[in-house]
Amino acid sequence: MRALVANVRPWRHDLAGCLHGCLATLLEQRGVPALPVLGAAWTFRHFPAGVRREEYYYPCAPGESLLEAIAPYHPVRSRWHEPADAAGGRREVRDAVEAGVPVAVAVDNYHLPFRPAYQDVHSNHLIVVHGFDEERGTATVLDAVPPAFHGEIGLDELTAARDSGNPAVHDRDMFFTGIHIGNRWLSVELGIDPAELPPLDRARIKKIITGNLAGFATPPSGGAYLGLLGQEAFLQGAVERLAAGEDVTDELFVVAGAVLACTALHADWLALAGRAVDARGLVERAREVERVAHHWSAVRIMAALTRDGGMTPERLARRAHALRKDHEAVLVNLEQEMSRL
């Protein structure tokens, strides 16, 4: 049996990870432009009980799918499939590909020959599968994360990566270990014909930005960190916990990664929206949001340095203060921009 889904192409953003890259590839294969969908929302949400040691972690409310959380302004969703065992996982993904549907699969980089971590470091990752050749014993996979790979690997290699226990063996197995991969795979579901997606016009842009501003004004509640106040509370809490000697490394690194991707993609979305309606102010706001994204990039780097004491509470506090000032400024500027749209 041989099956290969066509029109599967890599999609990559330097400040986003495997989750957004895989979702973008799956959306665009179905005829849905990725950036208008994945970049529209800009928010801060953190549910401490829901944090998982996965590169593709993204904060989701109860009952909400990954894609719904990332793209709340569009009728799209994703679904995690959890096979009973490796044989079931292999069969389910093969059946989807045979039906012409590419999917994303959770893997351990340790078992993938094209990843730098091969046979060295365990890490929970996400790649696209869109082909099988049972006679040759290969699968066609796509990984847009550098160093990037698009080609065939052995079915046994893919199965090992998908069925891995993903153990933390030594101190280089950081951030994305300790959770069994479990042969999980992710599919994308569309609630509308791609041709019927709303255009990126002034009314649509204003609705989305207004919604984002309302989200940042949402007060924290029920143990969740929401909006600008929740963001401040989370970062201040990390500073205080670090000063008290607590290990904040994993939570801060994973949470910052999700916010970084959301913020960076929204900067690109604002630039796209500004060009679409010839609104120079939106393009300028895009650069301001990009600056906020780079603050989050710095926070993430700092999180990695906490493990060996390379980051102090004072340094993290200074970065959090600079982040908040720039974030508040761009929110004010976006509010003013709404009156000009």
- Give 10-49 pLDDT, tens digit per residue: 999 999 999 999 999 999 999 999 999 999 999 999 999 8
Domain segments of the chain: what residues? 2-195, 199-338
Pick the closest to residue 41 from 207, 177, 228, 169 (CA basis).
Answer: 207
Report the pLDDT value the prediction gives residue 130, as an integer from 0 to 100: 98
Query: Does the pLDDT value for residue 171 go beyond 70?
Result: no
Average pLDDT, the chain: 94
Choice among 64-73, 100-109, 180-189, 190-199 with the minimum mean pLDDT: 190-199
Report the pLDDT value the prediction gives residue 61, as an integer from 0 to 100: 92
Compute, in degrees rounded to 10, the torsion defined by CA atoms 40, 129, 149, 32.
-30
Q: For 225-278, how does the pLDDT look when each residue is reduced to its tens digit (9 = 90+)? A: 999 999 999 999 999 999 999 989 889 999 999 999 999 999 999 999 999 999
The token duo for 267 is 């900067």
pLDDT confidence band for 209 (50 / 70 / 90): very high
pTM of the model: 0.95
Query: Does the pLDDT value for residue 172 go beyond 70?
Result: no
Report the pLDDT value the prediction gives residue 50, as an integer from 0 to 100: 87
Beta strand residue intervals within 259-298, DSSP E:
none
Q: At what angle do helices 249-276 and 227-243 cross, to 10 degrees?
A: 150
* Separation between Cα atoms, residue 29 and residue 9, nearest integer Å: 8
CATH superfamily of 2-195: Cysteine proteinases (3.90.70.10)
Residue 27 is classified by DSSP as H
Q: How many residues does the chain have?
A: 341
Q: At what angle do helices 202-216 and 249-276 cross, to 10 degrees?
A: 150
The separation between CA 111 and the C-alpha centre of its own chain, rounded to angstroms, equals: 22
- Percent of the chain whose pLDDT exceeds 90: 84
Query: Does the pLDDT value for residue 173 go beyond 60?
Result: no
